[in-house]
C-alpha cells in the first residue's frame, strides 16, 4: 500500500476538510466514505482521529454558517433556490419546515444523518425567526461531531476489512483512481436520474392554478387541502377559498372523511 497510503496519510486531513466542506456546501460528493477510510487509517496509527474530527467539524461549520447567513440575508428565497437544486421546491421546503417546527434548533443535532436535510437546514435556521448565531453554531457543531464521529468510528471498527480493500486498490495502480472516479460519477448520475424521475412524476401529478379554477368553474367540486406548514401560513395567510386547512400528521384522517369519488388537490406551498 505504498503510494496510495502515502498520499492518504500525507494529505488525508486536507482531503477530509475539502470533502466535508464540498458536501455541506451542496456538491454531490459524499464525505462519509472518506471519513470511514480516515477512521480506519487512524485505527492503524497512520492518522489522528482527533485531527479528523476537528477538521470535519470545522469544515461543516464554515459551510453551514455560510448557508445560515445567506438564509438570514435573503430569507426563504435562498431556501427555494437551494431546493430547486435538490429534488422539489415544494416538498423540500415543506418537509424541512415541518421538522424545524417540531424540533427547532435541536433538529441540527441529527440533520446530517438525513440526506438532503443536512444542506437545507442551515439556511432555514437563518431564514426563520431571529435565531442566535451562537446557538446555531453550538447545535450545528454538536451535530457535525456526532455525524463525523459515527463515520470515523465505523472506520475504526472495520479497519482490517478496509485495509484489505485499500491494499487491493493499491495493487491496481492508476486503475484504482479510474475505478473510484467511475463509482463517484455513477453515484452522481444516479442522483440526477432519481431527481429527474421524481420531477417528471411530480409534473404529471401537478395541477396548475388555471386547471384548478377550470375544475371549480365546471362544478366538479374538487376538495382542496391546505397542508402548508404553520410557518408558511403565517408568511402568507391568504388561502384558496373553500380549502380545508390540515397538516401532514392529520391528512390521513382528513382524507378518510372525504367521499372517494371527490377529486383531492393538495396545496403545500
Instruction: Name 62's Cβ contacts closer than 8 Å, sequence gap at least 6.
Output: 21
pLDDT per residue over 167-212, tens digit each? 666 666 666 566 666 766 776 676 666 555 654 554 545 676 777 7
Task: Give the domain ranges of the chain.
Answer: 2-203, 209-267
C-alpha 120/C-alpha 78 separation (Å) is 10
In the predicted structure, residue 137 carries a pLDDT above the cut 90: yes
Q: What is the dihedral of CA 178, 179, 184, 186, to 10 degrees?
A: 110
In the predicted structure, residue 78 carries a pLDDT above the cut 80: no
% the chain with pLDDT above 70: 65
pLDDT per residue over 98-129, tens digit each? 667 677 788 899 989 887 677 788 888 887 66
In the predicted structure, residue 244 carries a pLDDT above the cut 90: no
> Of the spans 221-225, 229-233, 245-249, which averages the highest pLDDT?
221-225
% the chain with pLDDT above 90: 20
**Cell numbers that stand for 135 in this block:** 446557538
Secondary structure element (H or E) that encloses residue 240, with its range: none
Q: Please tell me the predicted confidence (pLDDT) of residue 74.
A: 83
C-alpha 208/C-alpha 86 separation (Å) is 22
Q: What are phi and psi of 266, to 5 degrees?
A: -95, 135
Instruction: Name 55's Cβ contacts closer than 8 Å, sequence gap at least 6.
Output: 13, 14, 16, 17, 20
Q: Please tell me the predicted confidence (pLDDT) of residue 62.
A: 96
Q: Please tell me the predicted confidence (pLDDT) of residue 146.
A: 97
Q: Coil, strand, or helix at residue 226?
A: strand
Mean pLDDT rounded to a whole number for the chain: 76
In the predicted structure, residue 24 carries a pLDDT above the cut 50: yes
C-alpha 67/C-alpha 177 separation (Å) is 32
In the predicted structure, residue 160 carries a pLDDT above the cut 60: yes
Instruction: Name 125's Cβ contacts closer than 8 Å, sequence gap at least 6.
Output: 68, 71, 100, 105, 108, 131, 136
C-alpha 264/C-alpha 268 separation (Å) is 13
DSSP 8-state code for residue 252: H
In the predicted structure, residue 143 carries a pLDDT above the cut 90: yes
Residue 179 near residue 172 (C-beta atoms within 8 A): yes
> Of the spans 89-93, 122-126, 175-179, 240-244, which averages the highest pLDDT?
122-126
Residue 82 near residue 177 (C-beta atoms within 8 A): no
Amino acid at each position: 500500500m505504498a503510494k496510495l497510503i502515502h498520499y492518504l496519510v500525507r494529505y488525508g486531513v486536507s482531503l477530509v476538510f475539502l470533502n466535508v466542506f464540498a458536501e455541506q456546501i451542496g456538491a454531490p460528493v459524499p464525505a462519509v466514505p472518506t471519513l470511514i477510510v480516515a477512521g480506519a487509517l487512524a485505527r492503524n496509527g497512520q492518522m489522528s482521529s482527533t485531527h479528523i474530527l476537528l477538521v470535519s467539524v470545522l469544515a461543516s461549520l464554515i459551510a453551514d454558517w455560510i448557508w445560515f447567513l445567506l438564509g438570514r440575508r435573503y430569507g426563504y428565497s435562498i431556501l427555494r433556490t437551494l431546493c430547486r437544486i435538490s429534488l422539489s421546491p415544494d416538498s423540500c421546503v415543506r418537509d424541512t419546515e415541518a421538522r424545524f417546527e417540531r424540533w427547532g434548533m435541536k433538529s441540527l443535532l441529527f440533520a446530517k444523518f438525513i440526506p438532503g436535510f443536512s444542506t437545507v437546514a442551515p439556511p432555514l435556521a437563518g431564514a426563520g425567526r431571529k435565531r442566535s448565531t451562537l446557538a446555531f453554531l453550538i447545535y450545528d457543531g454538536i451535530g457535525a461531531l456526532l455525524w463525523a464521529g459515527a463515520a470515523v468510528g465505523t472506520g475504526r471498527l472495520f479497519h482490517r476489512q478496509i485495509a484489505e480493500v485499500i491494499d487491493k486498490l493499491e495493487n491496481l495502480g492508476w486503475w484504482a483512481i479510474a475505478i473510484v472516479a467511475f463509482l463517484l460519477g455513477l453515484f452522481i448520475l444516479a442522483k440526477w436520474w432519481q431527481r429527474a424521475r421524481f420531477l417528471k412524476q411530480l409534473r404529471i401529478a401537478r395541477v396548475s392554478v388555471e386547471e384548478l379554477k377550470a375544475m371549480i368553474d365546471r362544478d366538479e367540486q374538487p376538495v382542496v387541502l391546505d397542508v402548508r406548514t404553520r410557518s408558511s401560513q403565517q408568511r402568507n395567510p391568504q388561502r384558496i377559498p373553500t380549502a380545508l386547512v390540515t397538516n401532514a400528521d392529520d391528512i390521513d384522517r382528513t382524507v378518510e372523511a372525504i367521499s372517494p369519488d371527490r377529486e383531492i388537490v393538495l396545496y403545500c406551498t
